[in-house]
Amino acid sequence: MSKSILICGAGGQVGHELSIADSQHNLVPLSREQLDMTEPMQIEAAFAAHQPDIIINAAAYTQVDRAEHEHELAFAINRDGVADLAHACKEAEIPLLHLSTDYVFDGSKPSAYVETDATAPLGIYGESKMTGEALLRASLRQHVILRTSWVFSSTGHNFIKTMLGLGNQRDELSIVDDQQGCPTSARSIANVLLLIADRYLSGKNIEWGTYHYCNQPATTWFGFAQEIFAQASGYQDMLIRPITTSEYPTPAARPANSILDCEKIATVFAIRQASWVEELGLVCAKLDK
């Protein structure tokens, strides 16, 4: 018998990929217009209307720079909304799979971050996500927090869209080359979340807790940009030059190292990291149509 997976944040990059994914179960995607995470009554109404068996929360405030002056909204969605969702899941006795971020770390570690490393966000966005994680852990045993990084897809606002947009306006771009991380396709993230959800719904044991997942290998924003222009049609002559973070100041500080160690999720769920270069090719093919 098919069971129900309620997807919060279906209008975002990962939420969209979740909504169109193949699943043996009934997917119930809800956008912000259908389920506003800042409204606890809407969460209750969604649970009552759809009677879900598991929740995947891909809803988030993700405007890193704007969060520095939109504190209340960032915390309302990333902290309070997650706490309300966790409470509803506890009442319904169902699990919550929650998407989080590399921005909970300060980027000072010289090697890849593991799940047990101390969090120390550099800005409001990271702090709001960190506190949301903490409230979820404290209130709901049946949870998976999936931290990821540098999300991209053919939809929504992301680095690929920004690069291609700028590439249509300029002949030369300067891109930061001293921040390391792992670009990760929204499609890969959606697949991981659904794999875990399907595993639970099929009656298999789940080791609840925090996990890291990102695509591989590690690169910099400059390296990512180079590959974008190499794969996208019509940009092969684009000139880009590497610069330092200090040459491109932003309202919110970024971690110098956002590389996530994904050994735990490989060991527990046998989930291996996909190649972001290959995933980028799929995205560029969609954008070229």
Adjacency order of strands within the sheet including 209-212: 26-30, 4-8, 54-57, 96-101, 143-148, 209-212
Handedness of CA 53, 14, 273, 108 (dihedral sign): negative
217: cis peptide before it, omega within 30°?
yes
103 has catalytic annotation: no
Asked if 55 and 96 count as a contact pair (C-beta separation under 8 A), the reply is: yes
CA distances from 15 to 3, 28, 57, 173 (A): 19, 11, 8, 31
| Cβ burial 105-116 (10 Å sphere, 16+ → b, else e) | bbbebeebbebe
Asked if 171 and 115 count as a contact pair (C-beta separation under 8 A), the reply is: no
Pick the catalytic residue: 61, 113, 125, 211? 125
Query: For residue 78, which of 106, 52, 59, 92 has the smallest C-alpha distance?
Result: 59
Q: Cα–Cα distance between 286 and 232 in angstroms, integer?
A: 10
User: What are the catalytic residues?
Assistant: 125
